[in-house]
Each structure stands twice: as structure tokens, then as C-alpha cells.
Amino acid sequence: MNCTQNKKLMQITSETMVIGVDIGSEIHYARAFDFRGFEFSNKAFRFENNREGFNAFDNWATELMKKNNKTKAFVGMEPTGHYWYGFGCHLQNMRVEFGMVNPYHVKRSKELDDNTPSKHDRKDPKTIAMLVKDGRYLIPYMPEGVYREIRNLMELRRQNVVQLISIQNRVKRWLAIYFPEFNTVFKKWNGKAALLTLKYFPTPQAVIEMGEEKIVAIWKQTIKRAIGNKHARKLIKAAEESIGLKHGLESAVLEISTLLDEYEIYARKLQVIMQKVEEQVNKVPNANKLLGIKGIGIVAIAGFLGAVGDIGRFDAPEQIVKLMGLNLRENSSGKHKGKTTITRRGRSDGRYAIFQAVLPLVARNAEFRQLHLYYINRENRPLKKMQSIVALCGKLIRVFYAILKTGSNYNGEKMMKDIKRVA
């Protein structure tokens, strides 16, 4: 995982043919160069994003390598959404080394040749190849097996949660318009009694028409715990005093019925997804030991594993910190001393998972809370609360790394030894 600029340059030798590929949704373009930038092909090679196109690319690259006495090829490409996945998987299967160049670097570098910001299929592959030749690329990680399953499942979970949040917001909006007093009767709109109410008598007029006895009877058909006439009378009183809209109720009932159906569908999907997530996480060596950290749940573990993949590819936890974009950068120039902030360059999903995991740790885990209090109250350069949270994110990554790497159990006392106490 630790691939410095020098190591990247060492991969491009006099025996290497550097190929720059401009990725498109259906058509890709490639150009080939040596390690000095001398071009082997007279024009850009055009190939389609399918098996036939990939085979044509292989034949083209092989012929050029033979013609120019090159023993290996290194492919560079600019990540264009998800369109590069198929070609990247093909290169991986063919054991061809490849790297990804930053689209921002391509945009800034393309003017070096002709001093114009123009963009076209012949120009971009050369710009990409020149960046690769100079070692300005990243080695992509394409997870396999259980790690790919976890990453896909966590992305599916994220999409599902987004839909659930959208539905919840729309239900709250509906209640604010047609039955604002509903929240004074029920603590949560998605509780059992509240859902039954919204399903069978959602509007104030429907509540009044239903009456106390029928309301209680419908509740008791599904809810085992005691919920009776007192609660029903409170609901009826709220309905009688409601300031909600009295017009357009037929369409309003259809709207809330549709929202509830969607909510049930996505709630069931989320439950199935989380069952699959737990099954896959249990297949990762030592992952179950992370649950020994008080305040850590399966979502945090799966979010970390989905972003990081196989922990064995890292030599040190600092590499994961950098992968997450949690490493610090300084903003200074001359006499100006700017703020030090995190880079935010890396996997945003992993950074979000770690951040969301640390927040409950500060509240529930004694060791992490003590560390947080130490960071914000120490005499020498105390941290602000958010700075402390970022520091604890790095600490949690190091704890995860140690447990997954060594198989040891969580030891809070050992972790607390890192505190540098002021004498």
C-alpha cells in the first residue's frame, strides 16, 4: 500500500510501454509512449467498452510492445464515474498493471502541449500517459470476495437510508399540513399505534368519525401492550381542536397511504440488507472482536471494512488515516500562518463511517470519553471539540487496525497509556 513517488517512478522503466486511456461511457481512446514520452502510435486507438473492444486493445498493445521491444505495459486512465470498472477488471484479470490519474491534474496539465484548454479524444490520452510517466498516479484498489460484498451492501444500505429519510420528511410535512396535533399524541409517527392510526384514520375528520371504541379495537388487534381509551380520548380531542387543512382530504389520504407503503418496503429492505451485512462481516478474520469496543456496532465495522478492504495490504494505520482523508494539511505562506485542517482527500464513505462511530463512543465509552476530555482540557495546546473528535477518529482507526491485524482483544487500559500527562 505504501507507494511513494520514487516507487511509482521505478515502476516505469526503459522496458515499459506507458498507455494513456481516455475512458468514455461506450468508447475508449488509447495512446502509447515510452518512459521519455516518445509516442509509438501515429493516432489514438479507438476501442469499445465490451469484450470485443478489450480484446482489440490487447492485440494492439501486444503488437506495439513487440515492435518497440518492450517487455511490459503500464496503463493509466482517468476515472470517469463507473465506466472504468469493466476495463479495470479486464486489466486486473490480464495481470496488467494500471494506475488512476486525478481528473483535476489532467485538466491542469492539458495546456502544456498546445497552450489551450481544449479537450478531445487524441489529447487526453497523451496527458494521462505523461502524468503516469512522471509518477503522478494512484494505484486503485478493487476489493474482491467478502470485501467487495461488504462495500456493495453498505452502498445499498446508504441508498436505502436516503430513501427512508426522504419518506420520513415527507410524512412529517404531511402531518404538519393536515394533522399538526398528531405529534402531541404520539412521541414518534412510526411507532406501532401511530402507524395504525395513519393507516386506518389519518385525518382529524376520520378520527372523529371512527370514535373511541373502534379506535381502541383497531389498536388492540396488533398491539399487545396496554393502550386503551385514555389514549384514544386524547387523540380524539386533538382531532377536534386540529387546525389542519380541511380541503383536499381525499388526495391527502391517498398520499399518506402511498408514503406508508413505501416506508414499509424500504424498512423491510433495510432489515434484509443488515442481515446480509452481518453475515459478511462475520467472515472477516477478527472482525467480531471489534464488537468488544463498547459503543461500536455492526454498521461502523462494516462501513470501515467496506472502505478499507483487506487490512493486510497496509503496513501502518497512518496509511488508512490518509486513505480516509483524515490526515492534516497546513495552510501557510511566508509570514502567514493559516489553520491546519484535514485534507478530505480519500474515501468519503470511510471518513463518514469513522466519524459517525466516534460520536457515540465519546458518550458511551469511558476510555474514549476520557481521551476527549483530556484533549480539550489539557494545559498545553488544548484542542477544540471538533479537533478532538478528528483526533479520536485517527485513534479509532489505529485501534481497529491493531485488532484486525493481530487478532488481539480490545484493551482500554492499554489504549489510555498514550495520554501524555502534564507533570
For residues 214 and 231, membership in a common domain is answered with yes
For residues 327 and 269, membership in a common domain is answered with no
Tell me, yes or no, whether 351 lies in a domain.
Answer: yes
Tell me, yes or no, whether 199 lies in a domain.
Answer: yes
Q: Global pTM?
A: 0.85
Q: Please spell the DSSP secondary structure of 326-352, one letter per residue.
A: -SEEEEEETTEEEEEEE---S-HHHHH
Mean pLDDT across the stretch 187-213? 95
Indicate the residue among 235, 257, 278 that finishes a domain. 278
For residues 261 and 196, membership in a common domain is answered with yes
pLDDT at site 128? 93
Tell me, yes or no, whether 298 lies in a domain.
Answer: yes
Q: Is the model's pLDDT at 30 over the cut of 80?
A: yes
Cα gap 394→413, rounded to integer Å? 18
Element (H, E) at 52: helix 51-67
pLDDT higher at 327 or 268: 268
pLDDT higher at 124 or 123: 124
Q: Is the model's pLDDT at 2 over the cut of 60?
A: no
Q: Exposed/middle/buried for 205, CB within 10 Å: 0-12, 13-18, 19+?
A: middle
In the numeric block, which cell numbers belong to residue 119? 479537450
Q: What whole-number percentage of the chain has pLDDT above 70?
A: 91
Cα gap 26→21, rounded to integer Å? 13
pLDDT at site 422? 41
Q: Give tens-digit pLDDT for 95-114.
A: 999 999 988 788 777 767 66
CA dist list (Å): 393 to 35, 74, 139, 287: 41, 36, 25, 18
For residue 43, give the CATH number of its domain: 3.30.420.140
Triad 336, 322, 386: Cα angle to 5° = 60
Amino acid at 344: R
Indicate the residue among 278, 295, 320 that finishes a domain. 278
For residues 317 and 363, membership in a common domain is answered with yes
Q: Give tens-digit pLDDT for 364-393.
A: 999 999 999 999 998 888 889 999 999 999
For residues 392 and 307, membership in a common domain is answered with yes
Tell me, yes or no, whether 421 lies in a domain.
Answer: no
Q: The domain containing residue 26 runs over which residues?
A: 5-133
pLDDT at site 423? 35
* Tally of domains in the chain: 3
Q: Give tens-digit pLDDT for 309-346.
A: 999 999 999 999 999 988 876 565 555 565 667 777 78
pLDDT higher at 334 or 253: 253
Q: What whole-number percentage of the chain has pLDDT above 90?
A: 73
For residue 205, give the CATH number of its domain: 1.10.287.4070
Tell me, yes or no, whether 181 lies in a domain.
Answer: yes
Q: Which of 13-22, 74-83, 268-277, 280-289 has the lowest mean pLDDT?
A: 74-83
Indicate the residue among 278, 312, 346 that finishes a domain. 278
For residues 351 and 396, membership in a common domain is answered with yes
Mean predicted lDDT score pLDDT of the chain: 90
Tell me, yes or no, whether 59 lies in a domain.
Answer: yes
Helix axes 348-364, 366-377, angle to 10 degrees: 100
For residues 200 and 233, membership in a common domain is answered with yes
Task: Give the three-state DSSP class for 175.
Answer: helix
Mean pLDDT across the stretch 126-138? 91
pLDDT at site 49? 94
Q: Is the model's pLDDT at 416 over the cut of 80?
A: no
For residues 274 and 293, membership in a common domain is answered with no
For residues 338 and 225, membership in a common domain is answered with no
Q: Which of 141-150, 302-311, 377-386 has the lowest mean pLDDT?
A: 377-386
pLDDT at site 140? 87
